[in-house]
Amino acid sequence: MNDNPQNLFVETAFVRKKKRQETVAKSIFLAMSVAMIVPLLLIVGYLVVKAYPSLSLEFLLDIPRKGMTEGGIWPAFIGTIYLVALSLAVSAPIGVMAGIYLNEYAKDNWLNRVINLAVINLAGVPSIVHALFGLGAFVYAAKFGCSIISASLTLAIMTLPVIIASTREALASVPMNFREACWNVGATRWQTIRRIVLPNSIGGILTGVILQVSRSAGETAPIMFTGAVFYKAIERGDLFPYTLDGQCMALSMHLYTLATQVPNVSESIPFATAVVLLATVLLVNATAIVIRTLIRSKKKW
């Protein structure tokens, strides 16, 4: 037995070894984080530098001119808003309701296991496959033709599995004790979901839904086959230039067109288009983070 009390607080070789291992692990994780962040910052910086000569409010609000070699991107920008808004209006309610059913009502049987497996598999299907499905289902079978409706429904089908999965995860994060307490005082299952489960999971649900806007805005293949067009003449600043049964321009399709099919275009215009698309996606992501933070700050647990 050690008679010197001071020796009780001296680091042993075992403790020093554990601290060295912790320092090494922390350094590795820091290096991995830097390795992910630095390339992203370099890419964004490169895009902004290349796009700087064309970046302006005039570029956003103007229409393409002289065979899209000059002017702005307003038709493509407003077309993207149309596609994303309509697809979200379709996929969000269906996805949230399906997530509620699968997490709160569905029993553990073979049918629901098949449904869960189908949702997981659909989330990993390439966008070009969704594009072909939308072409067959909405353009030809439903006779919507190449239109905003067809493109939006295709985007909705593509984002639906992720919304369902994020809704289920958000609902599952609510402790079961909350549900049991409500059931014990006589509340029905729907009352428990509406008054307790949904208010405590709405932050995660909204985050999952809003983040799918980013994916919808950046997809090219699904809208290329179903509703996007090479060029469409509209009035500058017109907020309602398209009809749902007509085609529209979109930022992702416009960027692809500028980069591959438009000769003699200024080098800064495709980069400026990419920066606007990226800024739109980042703005949506930032909105999702703010909403999630505000809602989580109101939680009592």
Q: Quick one: DSSP state of residue 63?
A: P
Between the CA of residue 185 and those of 178, 180, 181, 300, what are the distances in Å? 11, 9, 7, 20
> For residue 167, which of 222, 111, 94 has the smallest C-alpha distance?
94
Whether 42 is covered by a domain: the verdict is no
Whether 279 is covered by a domain: the verdict is yes
Contact 154, 138 (CB under 8 A): yes
pLDDT at 5: 56
Note the pTM of the prediction, 2 decimals.
0.85
Half-sphere exposure of 54 (CA within 13 A, CB side): 25
pLDDT at 75: 92
Whether 98 is covered by a domain: the verdict is yes
> For residue 166, which of 121, 132, 120 has the smallest C-alpha distance?
120
pLDDT at 300: 59
Where are the alpha helices (H) located in the chain, listed in sequence order?
13-51, 57-61, 74-100, 110-123, 127-134, 148-172, 176-184, 189-192, 198-218, 221-226, 251-260, 268-297
Residues in Cβ contact with 242 at an 8 Å cutoff, skipping those fewer than 6 apart: 78, 79, 82, 148, 232, 234, 248
- Count: domains in the chain: 1
Compute the CA torsion angle 7, 11, 13, 17 (nearest 10 deg): 170
Whether 45 is covered by a domain: the verdict is no
Token pair, residue 279, equals 């800024």
Whether 99 is covered by a domain: the verdict is yes
Distance CA 73, CA 68 (A): 9
Over residues 98-120, the pLDDT tens digits come to: 999 999 888 888 888 888 888 88
CATH number at residue 188: 1.10.3720.10
Whether 288 is covered by a domain: the verdict is yes
> Residue 257 sits in which domain range?
72-297
Residues in Cβ contact with 240 at an 8 Å cutoff, skipping those fewer than 6 apart: none
Contact 223, 253 (CB under 8 A): yes
Whether 21 is covered by a domain: the verdict is no
Segments in the chain below pLDDT 50: 1
pLDDT at 90: 93
Whether 39 is covered by a domain: the verdict is no
